[in-house]
Every structure is written in structure tokens, then in C-alpha cells.
Amino acid sequence: MSLKKETAAMIDALSNIGADPTGGMTRLLYTDSWKEAQLYVEKQLQDNGLATHFDAVGNLFGRLTGSKYPDETILSGSHIDTVVNGGTLDGQFGVAAAVLAIKYLKETYGQPLRSLEVISMAEEEGSRFPTVFWGSKNFVGEAQAEDVQAEDVQDIADFEGRPFVEEMHRQGFDFRDAKEAVRKDIKAFVEIHIEQGSVLEKEQLQIGVVNNIAGQKRYTFVLKGQANHAGTTPMGYRHDAVYGFADICKTVIDRGLALGDPLVVTFGKVEPKPNTVNVVPGEVLFTMDCRHTDGQVLDSFTAEAESLIKEIAEAHGLTVEMDLWMDERPVPMDENIVTIIEKAVKASGKNYKVMHSGAGHDSQIIAPHFPTAMLFVPSIDGISHNPAEATHIDDLTAGVEVLAAALYELAYQE
């Protein structure tokens, strides 16, 4: 079977596990379909002669030991869970690609010098329980760290009230032992993922070599003015919160455009009160999502935006409340790994660019611990987290080929 047919077949097989009758795929952490998918991947790994095991929380590993440097491991994979009504590629393509790339390498070149290993991570999306990166954080020993402590998930439950801990136990898993050492053998982690954006498609490129995962800050603001009758309140007597919001949104986005790529700034949620045609809005709640690959630039831009928002609110006779509730720092990928991958991609003759990721990925959790880089394949129309999520099969196959070439450089070369 050609690599193209193998890729299509494995994505198809995985997509049948957790197909949602209401659309797309819903395969959430510690559900039966989630377990079934992990067991399917385990079977593929075993069929290819890899030694498999699950860690405490349910991350799956498959290992091909190296001949010369068995204690130096080159790792690849992604997450097996999906969002609710998600697509067939987000996460599982990275798992399937790692399985297939290592299968191809083993069949073509035999045993590597360094160990090659696949990881199928338990959870990344945060779609069932109010916790994210459960797989990668356990892998790197951060599940005892402040934001995903075992204590933090002790009392959480899913949207139907089923406790996290009970569901974890039901599938045969448990908390990671806090005394367990973090692995020292991982010399490289390479994750391949769909872009979930339209840059590669628009620029007609097949491969993105990711050198940075953008930092992101998310705010909620509440502008307060005074609700008034839209007919009886002259313009000069108004404290119109929507007019103030409009001024803020236009001013901040104009500043963002002037600063240029890779800065992005989005006012995604806007909720005026009372939200009625004939009442001057007395209040607007709105969010601002801002991302950049350089933490200093991100901070200086958001500092400027915060000042502008306060000044404009004041000029409109409005008060403003600010809540910065997410502040994730940019995560640069490992320069050395990026260089090796770029060399492999270039040698493959495929069109590519070095780019950043505007979305979050397991790689941002792993990168601070092990040398990490990512590969992207295009997303048709940039669509993701949606049943319409798709990538041309030739692009998926190119992704597997390039991943194999990169792993070859990392595991088979001195």
C-alpha cells in the first residue's frame, strides 16, 4: 500500500472511532471511544513491531529502540482527543503521521541509531473537563505544577456531572506518581499538525516549519455609561457605551495593523446592554484576544492598548473595568531542531515556509523541557474545530513524508 493510501486508511479508521451523530467527531478524554482510539493506535504500533505502554494517566507510547544510542530518543506524536463536533485531523493526524513515518523508516532503513518513539497524548483540547494539556503536562511532569495539580482535577466533573477521577479510574488510569522522574532521554520532539489557518493555502505552500508558538493574552473589559432613551436624550447628554466601544475597537485594531504581522488582535465578543434598538446602550462587555511571537512586543502592544482603552473610555464619559484572564508567553521552538527539519523539508523539494503558530499546541508544553519543533500542513479554507475541517490527501501525505525525512535526520544520522 502506498503511503498516501496508508495515510487515508488510518485517518479513516481513526475517524470511525468517536464519529458524532450530530456532526464531525466527538472523542473526549476517558470516554469509551477515546479508549478505543488509543487501543487502535496501540495495535498499529505493535503490528509495526514497536514496544508499547501506557503511562499512569493514559498517554500511549510505542518505541523502536536505537542500535547505537538507545538512550537518546526522538519522539513524535500529538493528541488523540477532539473537541465536541470536531474534525478528523486536529490531533489524530499527528498521531497517525508519527506511526506511519516510523513504520516507513523501519521498513526502509531498519533499526535507527537513536530510539524512535511515538506518543499519542491523552488530552489537549479541554473539551470535556475544565482542564487542558492533561496529556503533555503529565508527560513533562507538570501535572503536579500549579495550574494542573492533581488537587485541581480532584473535584472537577464533565458537563453531565461525571467526576474526572471516576472516569479516569473507569478506564484503568490514575494520577501520575509525583515522585516519578521526568524522562532524560528525549533529545527531540517533533509534532505535525494541521495549520488551522489559511496562510499555507493562500500562499500555495504544502509545509510549514514552525519556529514559534505565539503568546496570547485575553482580556474582558466592561465599559459602563448610562442607558438612555434613544429619542429623548440629545447626543451631548449621552454616555453611549457602544460608541465608546466602536472608538476603542477601531483605534486598537488600527494600531495593530500599523504594527503589522505577526501581531493579531481580535474583539471577538461584544455584548451591549440592554441591546435594544431604541435605548442608548449603557454598558458593553467585550473581549480582546492579542497574540505575538515576541513576548516583549506582545506586552508593549497590550500596554498601549490598555492605555488607549482607558483614555478613550474617559473621553466618552465611560468607566472601564479590565480583567486580564489569560497570559500565555510565546514559546520559541528549538533552533537546532528547526534547522534540521528545514533542511529535510528543503531536500524533499516541497514548497514550505518557516512560520509561527497562532494557535496553541502540546508542543508549547513540551518545548520548555525537550528540544521541540512542529510541522504544519495546510487546512482547506483555514477551517478547524468543525466537521468541515479538511486537508487535501496529497498535503497530508506530504506531511507524513516530510515528518519521516525529519525523523530520519534526527534518528538515523550521526
Binding positions for allantoate are 218, 278, 291
Between 161 and 268, name the residue whose CB sits nearer to a second copy. Answer: 268
What are the contacts of 166-170 at 24+ separation with CB within 8 A? 167/29, 167/30, 167/31, 168/30, 168/57, 168/58, 170/30
Instruction: Please report whether residue 240 would count as binding a second copy according to CB under 8 A.
Output: yes
Could you give the string, one character per residue 44-83, with x where binding to a second copy holds by CB under 8 A and - elsewhere? ----------------------------------------
The answer to whether the beta carbons of residues 248 and 269 sit under 8 Å apart is no
Q: Name the one residue in this structure whose C-alpha cell is 461584544.
A: 270
Contact status: 21 vs a second copy (CB under 8 A): no
188 pairs with which residues across the strands? Answer: 74
Rounded to 10 deg, the angle between the 335-348 and 393-412 helix axes is: 120
| Closer CB to a second copy, 38 or 363, in the complex | 363
| Alpha helix positions (H), 265-353 | 295-315, 335-348
User: Which of the ranges 43-51, 77-85, 137-145, 282-290 carries the binding residues for a second copy, by CB under 8 A?
Assistant: 282-290
Q: Any contact of residue 387 with a second copy (CB under 8 A)?
A: no
Task: Decide: is 266 part of the binding site for a second copy (CB under 8 A).
Answer: yes
Least spacing, CB of residue 31 vs a second copy, in Å: 24
Contacting residue, 72, 185, 289, 304, with a second copy by CB under 8 A: 289
Q: Which of 48, 287, 319, 339 binds a second copy (CB under 8 A)?
A: 287
Q: Which stretch binds a second copy (CB under 8 A): 77-85, 88-96, 101-109, 226-234?
A: 226-234
Is residue 94 a contact residue for a second copy (CB under 8 A)? no
Q: Which residues contact 153 (CB under 8 A, 6 or more apart)?
A: 129, 131, 134, 164, 165
* Cα three-residue angle 228-229-233, rounded to 5 degrees: 80
In the complex with a second copy, the residue whose CB is nearer, 199 or 340, is: 199
Distance in Å, CB of 258 to a second copy, minimum: 10
Q: Which residue, 135 or 330, is less far from a second copy as judged by CB?
A: 330
Element containing residue 213 per DSSP (H, E): strand 207-213
Q: How many CA atoms lie within 13 A of 260 on its CB side?
A: 0
3-state secondary structure (DSSP) of residue 177: coil
By CB under 8 A, name the one of 113, 279, 308, 354 that touches a second copy. Answer: 279
Q: How far is the CB of 34 from a second copy (least distance, A)?
A: 24
270 binds a second copy (CB under 8 A): yes
- Which residue number, 371 or 378, has a Cβ lying nearer to a second copy? 378
Amino acid letter, residue 153: V
User: Looking at 126, 267, 343, 387, which residue binds a second copy (CB under 8 A)?
Assistant: 267
Residue 262 as a binder of a second copy (CB under 8 A): the answer is yes
Asked if residues 393 and 7 have their Cβ atoms less than 8 Å apart, the reply is yes
Interface with a second copy, residue 280, by CB under 8 A: yes
In DSSP terms, which residues pair with 220 in a beta bridge?
A: 287, 323
CA distance 239 to 315: 10
Give CA–CA dist 149/225, Å, rounded. 41
Please state, as a whole number, how many other Cβ atoms lie within 10 Å of the Cβ of residue 350: 16
Our finding on whether 271 is near a second copy (CB under 8 A) is yes
Residue window 343-372: x/- pattern of binding to a second copy, with contact defined by CB under 8 A? --------------xxxx------------
What is the rounded CA–CA span in Å between residue 318 and residue 314? Answer: 5
Contact call for residues 158 and 126 (beta carbons, < 8 A): no
Q: Give me the residues that bind a second copy (CB under 8 A), please.
A: 195-199, 202, 214, 216, 218, 220, 228-237, 240, 242-243, 245-250, 253, 256-257, 260-272, 275-281, 284, 287, 289, 291, 357-360, 382, 384-385
